[in-house]
Structure 1
């Protein structure tokens, strides 16, 4: 019970952090948003951002679940961080890099949705938002 409460609180905190990052991006403060995001990887997932950034898309979920003992909740946090990463890159006009992070985020969110025993409307909405962002920016 305590572990579940901790995980739920962690997901709430990541939501607040993403809101902070998006607020900074509206103010065109990409440097501060990037700093906060860098710290978030270590604070929430206990690894450097570079570790997650270097993971190939096709090995994201299996590698983290099997080799690093992450849970679906950890994956959901990572998907949110990748989404924030994409938003930062988008604000910096780095469309190709933004799309890469949107795709990584989408892969993880879909995995979590498919393997969950409960339906989540907010998760489905997030998947739709990311799909729209990817589809609108294809050349």
Structure 2
């Protein structure tokens, strides 16, 4: 009961703070809005936006883990605030900071989706798609692409899995052997599942043959 009450208070305070941020944005007071987000992070998580930027995804998830259980509600809240910080930086013309916060938010939402987190605050998949749209003009870093490749596969979008896999191959951030392992895993699925995922079995076999030729070259 205490935990539920705490969670509801946090949601209420987040909603109030985000409403305040929206009001400040309309008044063109983005710097003040950034301070509101910092205060919210410090109050509930004792994490400033500066500290968040310095932590890896794994470190942040570890901080939000108690007795092996990840507090996905808090992670969702942090991911939302990161996204809002990105919006504010974008409105201030700080492209690098905007990009960084959008990517951090995207990666956290992908982690949440892969964990099967309940959408208690927002739906991670919807947030991922929104962030991908916001980032559509930019090249994503390889760690984000690797996470997206896993997410596409987990969600049954095998054509997008393959597309991301080839981008990683071109960047030399996964090996042909890793790519072959992905293809072999997909070959274990039914024809119906592969067709629904946009990647028929024959295309997988052709992709594997191309990889083998590349390895021999």
TM range (shorter): 0.7 to 0.9
CA contact (8 A) 1:82 1:104 kept: yes
CA contact (8 A) 2:102 2:135 kept: yes
Query: Within the alignment, does 1:130 sit opposite 2:126 as a pair?
Result: no
**Equivalences for residues 1-139 of structure 1 within 5 A:** 1-55=1-55, 59-60=56-57, 62-67=58-63, 69=65, 71-116=71-116, 118=118, 122-123=122-123, 124-135=125-136, 137-138=137-138
When the two structures are aligned, how many residues end up with a matched partner? 134
TM-score by length of 2: 0.54
Gaps of 5+ in 2: 140-217
* RMSD (Å), alpha carbons: 2.4
* Secondary structure of residue in 2 paired with 1:93: coil
Q: Which has the higher helix share?
A: 1
Mean Cα deviation higher: 93-102 or 109-118 = 109-118
Gaps of 5+ in 1: none
* Cα distance change on mapping 1:100 and 1:9 into 2, 3 Å: same
Which structure has more RCO (C-alpha within 8 Å, separation ≥ 6)?
1
CA contact (8 A) 1:89 1:97 kept: yes
Instruction: Work out the CA distance in 1 between the residues paired with 2:22 and 2:94.
Output: 16
Instruction: Work out the CA distance in 2 between the residues paired with 1:37 and 1:119.
Output: 21
Instruction: Work out the CA distance in 2 between the residues paired with 1:118 and 1:48.
Output: 25
Larger-gyration structure (1/2): 2
